[in-house]
Amino acid sequence: MSRLEFDAKGFYLDKKPFTIVSGTIHYFRVVPGYWEDRLKKLRACGFNTVETYTCWNLHERKEGEFDFSGMLDLAKFIRTAQELGLYVILRPGPYICAEFDFGGLPSWLLTDPKMHLRCNDPRFLQKVSNYYRRLFEEVRPYLAENGGNIIAVQVENEYG
């Protein structure tokens, strides 16, 4: 199990100094047949980590109906990175920007006129919680604490 820690001097992986050299590949923007090739090229450039957003609007196009297949098979993408010796920084939003309309939030959130987005509104937080619960069913085996290659998670993006 790898454990990423930090202090004023830098990052440490398993108590040893570690420099994160990361590049971004959005699995949902690359045909799955090319994932291995693109990740190999990332590795060949000297990167040790790949970071990727997850797109709530793609994984839950309709409320309560989740899709993690084909181009959305996040677990397969992470597993491929692991097989190639790459760590992962997972960026699940909920808001990701990433040049997506509505920042990757699902449009069905707008059907509740009383909901306030990207804040501590209980209605919004419940929807995020439902998404995260399902998302983390997919990625839990790949968390570093479970022996996987996800060493960090960035929640939210470009907030405030």
The per-residue pLDDT for range 98-113, each reduced to its tens digit, is 999 999 999 999 999 9
pLDDT along the chain (160 residues), means of 10: 89 95 98 98 98 98 98 98 98 95 96 96 98 98 96 90
Q: Say what percent of the chain tops pLDDT 90.
A: 95
Query: Distance (Å, rounded) from C-alpha 118 to C-alpha 158?
Result: 11
What domains does the chain contain, in order, with CATH numbers? 4-155 (3.20.20.80)
pTM of model > 0.75 = yes
Q: What pLDDT, on the 0 to 100 scale, is given for residue 1?
A: 67
Q: How is the beta sheet containing 87-93 ordered, strand by strand? A: 22-24, 49-53, 87-93, 150-155
Q: Which of 10, 12, 9, 13 is nearest to 1 (CA)?
A: 13
